[in-house]
Amino acid sequence: MKVSYHGHSVVKMETNGTTILIDPFITGNHLTDLKLEDVKPDVIILTHAHGDHLGDTVELAKKHDSLVIANFEVATYLSWKDLRTHGMSIGGAYEFEFGKVKMTQAFHGTGIITENNEIIYGGMPAGILFMAEGKTVYHAGDTGLFSDMKLIGKRHPIDLAFLPIGDNFTMGPEDAALAAEFLGAKQVVPIHFNTFPPIKQDPHAFVRLLKNNQGRVLEIGEVIDL
């Protein structure tokens, strides 16, 4: 499995001939190396419905007939836009042809903010466990620290974890370092930082907080082979 980071919370996974994008925030993301016209996801997985995570989902999914996996409320909302969706809920897992997806809890908001200055209830935010080729990748989504991360790591040994470090809206570096300890992941990559002024952080300083050379800062577009 090839896993790459593309700024903010955008993660791409390539496995079993399938290209998967998590939280495809491309338009308006000055950190990303991705170009909308070049991205061809077979599957899009959403942690929640805020604009910097929902991102370009509608345009990409319509263009490429991508399957969109999200919590039940967001999946239903997107199905009304004629997208092909699969709804899930916290604690649930589903075995797809390309791999297994399980939703974990995350502590955050998730409302869909419309152009008409309305906020539509978007269900519960989530973290994502993705399992394929004998490997497990954890994308925590936007979340604060919570002690049940110990259970997530114990229940599903994690090869690679993506953790937000930006503070203000999510965990900051110190809490994320404790999250990494709770999870016990073999590798930990920081995400959700430096996109906007309130979440400016030094990812290398975060990595120095981690034990046993567990942390790794990925350059934009850098690939990890699991």
Mean pLDDT of 104-125: 93
> Does pLDDT of 113 surpass 90?
no
Taking only the tens place, the pLDDT of each residue in 183-196 is 999 999 999 999 99
Phi and psi, residue 200, nearest 5°: -75, 125
Mean pLDDT of 84-108: 98
Question: Are residues 206 and 194 in contact, defined by beta-carbon separation less than 8 angstroms?
Answer: no
Mean pLDDT of 11-20: 97
SS3 assignment, position 19: strand
Tell whether pTM > 0.95: yes
SS3 assignment, position 217: coil
β-strand pairing of 93-96 with 84-88: unpaired
Position 110 scores a pLDDT of 87
Q: What domains lie within the chain, and their CATH numbers?
A: 2-221 (3.60.15.10)
Mean pLDDT of 21-34: 98
Which of the four pLDDT bands, split at 50, 70 and 90, describes residue 197? very high
Taking only the tens place, the pLDDT of each residue in 122-158 is 999 999 999 999 999 999 999 999 999 999 999 999 9
Which of the four pLDDT bands, split at 50, 70 and 90, describes residue 115? confident
Mean pLDDT of 63-87: 98
What's the CA gap between 198 and 169, in Å, rounded? 8
Q: What is the DSSP string of 98-165?
A: TEEEEEEE--S--PEEPTTS-EE-----EEEEEEETTEEEEE--S----TTHHHHHHHS--SEEEEE-
> Does pLDDT of 62 surpass 90?
yes
> Does pLDDT of 181 surpass 90?
yes
